[in-house]
Amino acid sequence: MPDQRRSVLGRALRILDTVSDAPGGLTLSQISRRAGVPLTTAHRIVGELHAWGALERSPSGGYQIGLRLWELAAVTPRSMGLRQVALPFMQDLFETTHRGVHLAIREKDQVLFVERFTSQETAADRAQVGARYELHATAIGLVLLAYAPSDVQEATLAGPLAVPDWHPPVTERELRATLAEIRRSGYAVTSIRGEFRSVAAPVYGPAGAVAAALSLILPITEPYGPRLAHLQATTRGISRALGSPLGRATAPAGRFRFG
Amino acid sequence: MPDQRRSVLGRALRILDTVSDAPGGLTLSQISRRAGVPLTTAHRIVGELHAWGALERSPSGGYQIGLRLWELAAVTPRSMGLRQVALPFMQDLFETTHRGVHLAIREKDQVLFVERFTSQETAADRAQVGARYELHATAIGLVLLAYAPSDVQEATLAGPLAVPDWHPPVTERELRATLAEIRRSGYAVTSIRGEFRSVAAPVYGPAGAVAAALSLILPITEPYGPRLAHLQATTRGISRALGSPLGRATAPAGRFRFG
DNA sequence: ACCCGTGTTTCCGCATAACGGAAGGAGCGA
DNA sequence: TCGCTCCTTCCGTTATGCGGAAACACGGGT
């Protein structure tokens, strides 16, 4: 195993990471500095990445992530396979409710947003497609955590439970109770900055395990009962389309991957 | 510049390409053979890619494109920047028409599908997100071709004008006339297998050049006049949101000259 | 139980491909 | 004009990637 820090590939991948973290593009020297790669070496690697199409030059001259990479990623099974199945259902839900709809999966100990629809009114959230957040802080993350393997749950419960500044602190004890309640009821609710409410429910994959979660963002003033019914109808539809056996509300936890 | 065929990076990127072309995942030996990389070398490179998250193991044991790569690509400006702006407009169009809606850009001499919405009835097309097609064969491609730089147009006109088997042959002369007509009218119409009609119109970017195109898939029996109005209202909306100066209906050709 | 085929992993000596300092260009603003 | 930053080319050194060979793991057929 070549040293991850020195190998060409390691450096190239670090460069890609660096560039993708910088909206608006980076100049070669910036890449060199931020990725910790000597300028000459960066020059060579970036040259190759550019020749292949992994990087492109923006009109302003900097480098940015190229289309070729996006094309590769368009076939990523875990995100796009799921997305393809879920999209029509999300559309329906969006049409009937006109509220923000989010689809996310759990990746390691974080929640990863795969797709979202937002209306202008409910666009108050920053959850970009491709963004990661802590599992315990959002409704959609809580759902994923509630059905995650126990080692992930314990890791999260043991770690520091950081919360946004507008959010009351969370203790491990409270979180355990919350997760149990989610497993019992089959959904999670949280408030966002006191202005919105996020309601989330699990999506089951073919193995009967939770493969993803779907959430709906509502104004805090709106009762969420009726919307919850819509949401759960949608998650049931997606689960069925994914080939889930769709048993009881509390399904066995476990790990599932598309492929 | 190191030889593209032998360098680690070249090989790694070729491996990524290989894997992404194979739905369902590839075993290490398959990767080695298809990418033309000696097994031992493939083993090492795949190992590094896997460690980083560019590749993942599917439940069946094969390698597939990993989530990490998808996350990188989620910030690709040319596709996702456009997508982010266009998505709400596409939603509206889909809601009002309930017909297939496609967003594509031109990449080199091909059309690249960036986003699509389809209803069950109109799902008769195979245009996947991330897929490439020839410019001259689809309505959306014709629009992009009509507003492409002249060297791209000439290259396409000069090359073999392959068409699907159900499609009548196209001559260079006809194609020139078609492109002129598209520039004049501001939209393109084609039939798909005699069952559907595709209507497409250009989207203008901030520089006033055509940045993308949008198409609507209708049953062949349905008159397209009213739908065309919806489509063009949508492309105007997206163009404006992109910061286009948005002149008259038949907009200037942009940075490039024709004629 | 045995063998054989296929896929995966480890080992190691060799030479090539990557490395990066230094120096020369190319713009740009003062 | 200078001075600054960013980009590119050159070239001697060596670490790094290379890949044949061989061991290992699994599974299916007889």
Average pLDDT by stretches of 10, chain B with 259 residues: 73 91 88 90 91 89 91 90 90 90 94 86 66 90 96 91 72 92 95 89 91 94 92 95 65 34
Count, residues in chain B: 259
What's the distance, CA A201 to chain centroid?
15
CA A230/CA B120 separation, integer angstroms = 20
Whether residue A223 has pLDDT greater than 60: yes
Contact between A120 and B88 under an 8 Å Cβ cutoff? The reply is yes
Task: Between A161 and B67, name the one with better pLDDT.
Answer: B67
Query: What is the reported pLDDT for B259?
Result: 25
Find and list the nucleotides of strand D having atoms within 7 Å of a protein beta carbon: 5-10, 15-21
In 3-state terms, what secondary structure has residue A216?
strand
Query: What is the reported pLDDT for A203?
Result: 97
The answer to whether residue B232 neighbours chain A at the CB level (below 8 Å) is no
CA B52/CA B232 separation, integer angstroms = 44
Instruction: Please report the sign of the dihedral spanned by the C-alpha atoms of residue A232, residue A234, residue A236, residue A238.
Output: negative
The answer to whether residue A241 neighbours chain B at the CB level (below 8 Å) is no
What residue in A sits closest to B46 (Cα-Cα)? A9
The answer to whether residue B12 neighbours chain A at the CB level (below 8 Å) is yes
CA angle B160–B165–B169, rounded 5-degree value: 50
Nearest CA-CA distance, residue A168 and chain B, Å: 30
The rounded mean pLDDT for chain A is 86
Query: What is the reported pLDDT for A129?
Result: 86
As a rounded value in angstroms, the CA-to-C1' distance for B48 and C8 is 15
Q: A63 to each of A38, A119, A209, B202, B209, how far by Cα in Å?
A: 17, 32, 41, 27, 22
Which residue carries 């590939």 as its tokens?
Answer: A9
As a rounded value in angstroms, the CA-to-C1' distance for B49 and D8 is 30
With bands split at pLDDT 50, 70 and 90, how would you rate the model's confidence at A171?
confident
CA A14/CA B52 separation, integer angstroms = 9
The answer to whether residue A9 neighbours chain B at the CB level (below 8 Å) is yes
* pTM (predicted TM-score): 0.86
Judging contacts by C-beta atoms under 8 Å, the chain A residues touching residue B12 are 9, 12
What residue in B sits closest to A112 (Cα-Cα)? B71
pLDDT tens for residues A65-95? 999 999 999 989 889 889 988 998 998 999 8
End-to-end CA distance of chain A: 27
Q: Which of residues 40-79 of B touch strand D (CB under 7 A)?
A: 40-41, 44-45
Interface contact flag, B75 A95, Cβ < 8 Å: no
The answer to whether residue A1 neighbours chain B at the CB level (below 8 Å) is yes
As to burial, measured by CB atoms within 10 angstroms (0-12 exposed, 13-18 middle, 19+ buried), residue B181 is middle
